[in-house]
Amino acid sequence: MTLPRPQDRRGGGTTALLDVAAADLRLPHTESGMTVGLFGGSFDPPHAGHLLVAETALRRLQLDRLWWIVTPGNPLKRHERTHSLGERIAASRHIAAEPRIDVTAFEAAHRLRYTADTLALVRQRRPDVHFVWVMGADSLASFHRWQDWRGIVGTMPIAVVDRPGATLSILSSPMAKTFSRFRLSEADGAALPFRKAPAWVFLHGPRSPLSSTALRSGEASGGARS
């Protein structure tokens, strides 16, 4: 799916939700005892690399569902040029057609900006679900810059999925070094959702060289878009 050219959207507020369906602002349905991965990002635009991370987590962790969380914006990134939330939801749903993936934007309804707050909310609202935070290894190098990053690790098990150029992050990132003794082997990945935090695993698997940054650069220069 091709997204339209991004617009300058520095305003924010309720205007940003005008093209978002009410159902997309609610937490997806779960049943007691389910294992659910939380995979968040701006997805501007979503691409095959994101889907590989999601599918790897579903398969290797043996998850029942995965929530593909389209965020209002990443506090660590600039937002002058971005597609609307509704556009990114639609594009994500087109890419993530796997039936066990639920595309959602509930963070916008609760005005959440930080992952730590998102994890606190889902644990409060769904205490009978086994959640795992899922992220690409390219995020691991900067994870220590996230708001309350130690609290995130102590709140929920984490699955880090390999991405091109990021494999060595498991050796150099502050998070990997600080919590090295809580790392599970890949063979124990299916046990991760049931482990008490801190607990994390690094998953190797198929990788895609695509990145949202490169795709946005192509848009800006008039190049091909994904």
Gap between the Cα atoms of 92 and 69, Å rounded: 9
pLDDT in tens, 117-134: 999 999 999 999 999 999
Give the pLDDT band (50/70/90) at residue 34. Answer: very high
* Residue 205 reports pLDDT greater than 50: yes
The rounded percent of the chain whose pLDDT value lies above 90 is: 69
Q: Which residues contact 144 (CB under 8 A, 6 or more apart)?
A: 173, 174, 175
Question: What is the average pLDDT across 164-176?
Answer: 82
Q: Which residues contact 70 (CB under 8 A, 6 or more apart)?
A: 41, 42, 43, 85, 88, 89, 92, 103, 104, 105
Q: To 10 degrees, the CA torsion angle through 134, 137, 143, 144? A: 130
207 contacts 161 by C-beta, under 8 angstroms: no
Give the pLDDT band (50/70/90) at residue 170. Answer: confident
Gap between the Cα atoms of 21 and 36, Å rounded: 23
pLDDT in tens, 73-87: 766 555 445 789 999
